[in-house]
Structure formats: structure tokens, C-alpha cells
Amino acid sequence: MASDGARKQFWKRSNSKVPGSIQHVYGAQHPPFDPLLHGTLLKAAPKVPTTPVKAKRISTFQEFESNTSDAWDAGEDDDGLLAMAAESLNTDVVMETANRVLRNHSQRQERHKLQEAPGPKQKPEPAAEPPSVPSGDLRLVKSVSESHTSCPAEGASDTVPLQRSQSLPYSVTVTMGGTSDPSALSSSALSEREASRLDKFKQLLAGPNTDLEELRKLSWSGIPKPVRPITWKLLSGYLPANVDRRPATLQRKQKEYFAFIEHYYDSRNDDVHQDTYRQIHIDIPRMSPEALILQPKVTEIFERILFIWAIRHPASGYVQGINDLVTPFFVVFMCEHIDEEDVDTADVSRVPADVLRNVEADTYWCMSKLLDGIQDNYTFAQPGIQMKVKMLEELVSRIDDQVHRHLDQHEVRYLQFAFRWMNNLLMREVPLRCTIRLWDTYQSEPDGFSHFHLYVCAAFLVRWRKEILEERDFQELLLFLQNLPTAQWGNEDVSLLLAEAYRLKFAFADAPNHYKK
């Protein structure tokens, strides 16, 4: 037929511009590009091949269709890297190599445990074989460290595994002060790792000009307790990177803060400010940890910090929830001056007065830096929080539609439980030690408190998937979501949560079209 001949001639004539000729797209943040819809872009920016590739002539539409039938199949080839690997590597070889690496790692762990535990000689158990992977599955194989890190979370919560298995930006490490799992790492090995990480931090901080980008990379997986105060001050932008300028900056900022106290604090009983001060005075005793907050000196410090901040930021003033953001900074900065392991119960009255003054000023300025990035959370009607709760709802509907529909079916609204997650940055949901570990990463991420926190909340909700789906009543669901069982959480739980949050950010942060159905 004439029409068939014309169609074949068309495909022969225009084979260089068909969609199958575009390069692979890397990352879920870049959805497939349709040249039929964006033809002008292709003309404006002609593609220059970077490597010489022999062109493959497509003579008919049938051949073109067979060669590009899976071009837009996101489910089978979600990542361009996977497609390239599938073309150049034999699947059997890949899987055999991955299994051999996992098997050797398991055997070394078994031998190491036997050497660390002296006792009656026992026949060592054979190393467990890693789960076999179907040869037809070309999904990216997890690294050894990632697979071991993610196992506890999967067994504990039965969460739905993400489709993408990208590596974290920096290795997720069970960091300082946490209780290690004896089956994964011996105490001596953990202490060696802690010492090694601490040395890296000290070397980085000892230079004349601290490399803040490198410091962020190192801090993402946790900051050792001895160097956490100085690291937080640097990452928050309170202290300069230049070592010689720091003493003068500290002195100037502390002097400036106490000038505010002298100028403004006496006005707390004036008619215009007494409501603000009264609300602060009421909220502080409700904070945790009570053993620390209820000490008279600490209460006075918190009242001054919050009142001065409210007076100097009239656009928002004081809002409930801001008071919780003082505690992590105060506790971390007190660690420099208290020998006790648990600062939560330390007697602050034994700390010299000049040290307390310095800690108070440092806490004020670092909290101010944090709030500068999330102030729309606390302005009139709190639009920042409402927007983030809406984004959380859309994100959860994409990553776990079953949980989303279950909440909707029982008329549980995200604002009823997630408002506090955004308002207090999860401080009321996890222990203080976990909040401090979270903030290590937040200060290492670009816009960590305003942007990355959204993905942490999404991962936090999906973490309780099994328990949420078991609840069949509105009241029980809401009570559970407002009183999550995190009292025994440690650094390992937080590291797993952050790993999941990073994967969500990798998949959705730069893909607004993937954000909605």
C-alpha cells in the first residue's frame, strides 16, 4: 500500500531523530525526556557525542519498535546506570561475585567473633549463605555495609523496601556513644573505629582554615562527642572557618548578647511584652529532660534566651515549639564543661558562672541561626508547617499508598499528628540523645532543618507501617501516632532512619512531577 510505503520511507528518512537515540538519564530526579513534546529543545541544543559509537541503522518502523519497546519502561529500567551495566556485564558473573563477597564477609565476621570470645572450644557454625537473587533481576546489588545496616530495620518493621538502592553520600556509621550490636561489631573494633573517626575530626579542625565542606561530609554519619560543640558552632555558621578569627568572634558575639539582655530583658513585665514572657514562663517547665530544665539556673537561662529572641524577631515573636529547640544546643555546649556522662541529670549549679554565661550566649546565637532557616514555621498561621505537612501527605501517598489509604480510611488527618513533628523537629517523638544525633546530620545537609527534615518524617512514618496497618480505629491510630514507642532508640535506629530518608530525598527531591500522582 502507498501509505505503508510512505510510513517506511518516513522512518528511514528520520531515524536520527527518533526517541530511542537519546542518552540514558541518570537518577530518578530526571523523568524520561520526550523529544516529541520538546522538539525545540533538541534543535536548540544539538547533542555532541562524547565517545565514538558506531551508529546502528534502523530501516523500518518494526525494527525501531522492537529495539525501543522498553525505552520508557520505568519499572524495568529505572536507572540509566543499571541499563548500561546490563549491556556490558554478564548477570551470572555479577551475582556470583556479589554472593562471594557477602559469603567471605560473613566468614570473617564468624572468625573474628570466635577470636574475641575465649571459652570452651566449640565447632564454629558455617557462615550463613546470603539470600539468592534471581538471575533475571538486574537491580543494583547493595554494598556489604548497606545490606548489614538495613537488616535490623526490615526485620523490625516490615517496611516496604524502596525500589531504588542507591548508596548514601557518606557511609552510615553507628556513631559515638551508641550501644553496638555484638553480633555485628565487637567492642574493641568499635572503639578503634571511634578513635579513628575522632582523629579525622581533630586533624580537620586543627588546620588554620577548616574545610567546611569536608567537615559536613565527615559529620553526616555522626559527630564524636568530644568535638561536637565546636563542630556544631562551625556548621551552623556561628564561628568562622579561620582559627585565628574565632576567639575575637566569640568575644564579640557574647558581648553583643549580654548587651541585648541589659537593654531588653527588664521590659519583660511591661504591658506590651508581659504576655510573651508569661507564655515562656509557662512552657519551660513542660520541657524535657525535667531533671535539667527544672534547675533554677537553667530555667533563668532559657527564659532569657527565648525572650530576647522573641523581642528581636517581631515578625513571629515567641511561638510554642521554639522553646524545645534551645535544649539540644544547651546540652551539647555544656558537655565541654561537665565530666558526667549524662548531662541530662548534671548539677548545673557546680558550673562556674562565667562558663554558664558563655554557654548561654553560644546557645542563643546557634538557635537564632537555626530559626533563620525555618522562621516561616512560626509566623502568623504558621504557613511553613502547613505546607510541609501537605508535602508529607503527598510524599507518603507515593512511597506507601497502603499506609496513606489506611489513614484516610479511618479519617486520620496528617495535621493531627505531623504538625508536632514539624513544629518541634521530632524532639517530642524521640529521646534527646537521638535528637542530637539527628541534628548532626541536619547541620551537614543543605537546608537540613527545613528540607531534609521532611524526608526524615516520611521515613519515620513508614517505619511504623506494620503497627499502623494493625490499628483499626481512629482513636487507637491517633494515640499510637502521638505516642510512638521510641524510648529505647539509640544511634543505630537513627542511622537507619536517616539512611531511609536520604533514599527518599534522592528519589523525590528534584522530581516535582514524581511528587504527585
Quick one: pLDDT band at residue 203, thresholds 50, 70, 90? very high
Write out pLDDT tens, residues 329-359.
999 999 988 877 777 778 888 899 999 999 9
Q: Note whether 355 and 455 are same-domain residues.
A: no
Q: Specify the pLDDT at position 117.
A: 57
Q: Specify the pLDDT at position 482.
A: 94
Quick one: pLDDT band at residue 91, thresholds 50, 70, 90? low
Residue 249 within a domain: yes
| Domain termination residue (choose one: 316, 340, 373) | 373
Residue 330 within a domain: yes
Contact assessment for residue 302 and residue 323, using Cβ atoms and an 8 Å cutoff: yes
CA dist 79 and 140 (Å) reads 9
Within 8 A by CB and 6+ apart from 279, the residues are 318, 320
Q: Is the peptide bond before 289 cis (omega within 30 degrees of 0)?
A: yes
Residue 29 within a domain: no
Report the CATH number that the domain containing residue 447 is assigned in CATH: 1.10.472.80
Q: Note whether 471 and 491 are same-domain residues.
A: yes
SS (HEC) of 135-174: CCCCCCCCCHHHHHHHHHHHHHHCCCCCCCCCCCCCCCCC
Contact assessment for residue 474 and residue 130, using Cβ atoms and an 8 Å cutoff: no
Q: Specify the pLDDT at position 112.
A: 65
Q: Specify the pLDDT at position 346.
A: 81
* Segment 184-191 mean pLDDT: 58
Query: Any idea what DSSP says for residue 72?
Result: T
Contact assessment for residue 128 and residue 147, using Cβ atoms and an 8 Å cutoff: no
Residue 432 within a domain: yes
Q: Specify the pLDDT at position 237.
A: 95
* Segment 389-408 mean pLDDT: 95
* Segment 80-98 mean pLDDT: 55
CA dist 321 and 367 (Å) reads 13
288 or 112, greater pLDDT: 288
Q: Specify the pLDDT at position 90.
A: 56
DSSP-assigned states of every residue in 178-234: PPPPTTT--HHHHHHHHHHHHHHHHHHHHSSB--HHHHHHHHTT---GGGHHHHHHH
For 323, other C-beta atoms within 10 Å of its C-beta total 22
Residue 467 within a domain: yes
Write out pLDDT tens, residues 23-53.
444 444 444 444 444 444 444 444 444 444 4
CA dist 438 and 415 (Å) reads 22
Write out pLDDT tens, residues 125-176.
444 443 443 334 433 333 333 334 444 444 444 444 443 334 445 444 434 4
Quick one: pLDDT band at residue 406, thresholds 50, 70, 90? very high
Residue 85 within a domain: no
Q: Specify the pLDDT at position 133.
A: 39
Q: Note whether 350 and 416 are same-domain residues.
A: no
118 or 257, greater pLDDT: 257
Q: Specify the pLDDT at position 275.
A: 94
Joined grid coordinates for residue 10: 518516513
Mean pLDDT for the chain overall: 77
Write out pLDDT tens, residues 213-248.
999 999 999 999 999 999 999 999 999 999 999 999
Q: Specify the pLDDT at position 74.
A: 43
What's the domain range around 478?
383-509
Residue 399 clears pLDDT 50, i.e. is over it = yes
Write out pLDDT tens, residues 262-302.
999 999 989 999 999 999 999 999 998 888 888 999 999 99
Quick one: pLDDT band at residue 510, thresholds 50, 70, 90? confident
Q: Specify the pLDDT at position 118.
A: 53
Quick one: pLDDT band at residue 81, thresholds 50, 70, 90? very low
- Using alpha carbons, select from 243, 199, 198, 236 the residue that is nearest to residue 216: 236
* Segment 294-315 mean pLDDT: 95
Q: Is 242 helix (H, G, I), strand (E, B) or coil?
A: strand
Q: Specify the pLDDT at position 345.
A: 79
Count the alpha carbons within 13 Å of 12 in the hemisphere toward its beta carbon.
Answer: 8
Residue 501 CA from chain centroid, whole number: 5
Q: Note whether 399 and 491 are same-domain residues.
A: yes
Count the alpha carbons within 13 Å of 389 in the hemisphere toward its beta carbon.
Answer: 17
Residue 494 clears pLDDT 90, i.e. is over it = yes
Q: Note whether 367 and 395 are same-domain residues.
A: no
Within 8 A by CB and 6+ apart from 425, the residues are 324, 325, 435, 438, 449, 453
CA dist 175 and 222 (Å) reads 5
CA dist 75 and 418 (Å) reads 31
Q: Specify the pLDDT at position 342.
A: 75
CA dist 152 and 168 (Å) reads 17
Q: Note whether 291 and 395 are same-domain residues.
A: no
CA dist 206 and 497 (Å) reads 32
Q: Note whether 324 and 410 are same-domain residues.
A: no
Q: Note whether 403 and 364 are same-domain residues.
A: no
Within 8 A by CB and 6+ apart from 50, the residues are none
Domain count, the chain: 2
Query: Helices H, strands E: what count in the chain?
Result: 24, 0
Q: Note whether 388 and 339 are same-domain residues.
A: no
Contact assessment for residue 455 and residue 394, using Cβ atoms and an 8 Å cutoff: no
Contact assessment for residue 456 and residue 395, using Cβ atoms and an 8 Å cutoff: no
* Segment 89-113 mean pLDDT: 67
Q: Among the listed ranges 39-43, 344-348, 400-404, 495-499, which one has the minimum average pLDDT value? A: 39-43
| Domain termination residue (choose one: 333, 349, 373) | 373
Within 8 A by CB and 6+ apart from 447, the residues are 373
CA dist 224 and 437 (Å) reads 10
Residue 16 within a domain: no
Residue 458 clears pLDDT 50, i.e. is over it = yes
CA dist 111 and 127 (Å) reads 10
| Domain termination residue (choose one: 326, 353, 373) | 373
% pLDDT > 70, the chain: 64
Which phi and psi angles does 9 have, rounded to 5°?
-65, -35
Q: Note whether 331 and 391 are same-domain residues.
A: no
DSSP-assigned states of every residue in 262-315: HHHGGGGGSTTTHHHHHHHHHHGGGSS-HHHHTSHHHHHHHHHHHHHHHHH-TT
Q: Note whether 352 and 390 are same-domain residues.
A: no
456 or 177, greater pLDDT: 456
Q: Specify the pLDDT at position 104.
A: 75
Q: Specify the pLDDT at position 116.
A: 59
CA dist 186 and 325 (Å) reads 35
Q: Note whether 368 and 391 are same-domain residues.
A: no
Joined grid coordinates for residue 52: 565514538
Residue 453 within a domain: yes
CA dist 111 and 105 (Å) reads 10
